[in-house]
Amino acid sequence: RGNTPSAYFISNAEDMLRWMQIQMGIYNVPDIYQELISKSHVYDTSNSSERKSNYAFGWQVDQSGKLLTSIGLNPNYTAGLYMDLEQDFGICVMTNVSTGLVQDLLSNINQLYHNNEPADLSMDSIKLLDMLMTIFSLILGILLLILGLLIRRRIVYIRMHGLICAKRKMSKIIIIISCFCVFFLIGQIFFLPGYISEGLTWNTISVWVPQSMILCIMLFLLLIILVWLYAIILRCFNKNKTDMD
């Protein structure tokens, strides 16, 4: 199922080989299509003097106009193309995961082809994000466990010592105001993607980011609610019934 607004073709290595041959002029196509393909390799030269590569209809083109690169990804795949139009040489890398390593793989394969030493692969940004979100989720999980035990301990203490809500009117006001603040904060988190980019939703984000990030956000929201609940219990139930008498 496609992810709007991303667009892609379902393909394989054989199709990609033919596509690169068409792009490099090795595979014959009607002149009208070859002319359009050639135009798609031309980038805007009006503001490109200091750039190493420039954008041209889906291609990153170097200053010479002979080296073309294109990388596309979706949540369940990544594909990268590198073509040297002068040497009629091309590389295609396809993976079944969303990863930022395809650029490094294209570069290293190119280095190996030219008998050069390949560079070390960089840390995959998606894997790094997943690792960080997993660590944060574990920390949040521990905090939630501790907070849950504190709330349970406080409730037991209230029951054992007969603590009641002393200033009920003031306590109600505090609960209402704090409840409004908590739900306002949760609402802002819910609408946060729309603030970042118009039309962006958590549903779209959940498709692209690691599931550990969604878990981390849910645990964080739960932590906010439990902190609020614990604060209310501490603030409101602090008087002994016998003291009130």
Q: What is the pLDDT of residue 172?
A: 74
- DSSP type of residue 42: P
Tell me which residue has tokens 């068409």: 22
**CB of 54 within 8 A of CB of 65?**
no
Task: Write down the pLDDT at residue 204.
Answer: 76
**pLDDT for res 199:** 73
Helix (H) or strand (E) segment spanning residue 110: helix 102-113
pTM of the model: 0.65
Cα 191 from Cα 30, distance rounded (Å): 50
Residue 117, Cβ density class (10 Å: 0-12 exposed, 13-18 middle, ≥19 buried): exposed
- State the pLDDT at residue 244: 46
CA angle 107, 111, 116 (to 5 degrees): 150
Q: How confident is the model at residue 233, as a pLDDT?
A: 81
What single-letter DSSP state applies at residue 206?
H
- Give per-10-residue mean pLDDT for the chain (245 aa): 58 88 86 85 68 76 83 82 88 85 88 85 80 94 93 84 64 78 85 78 79 91 90 72 49
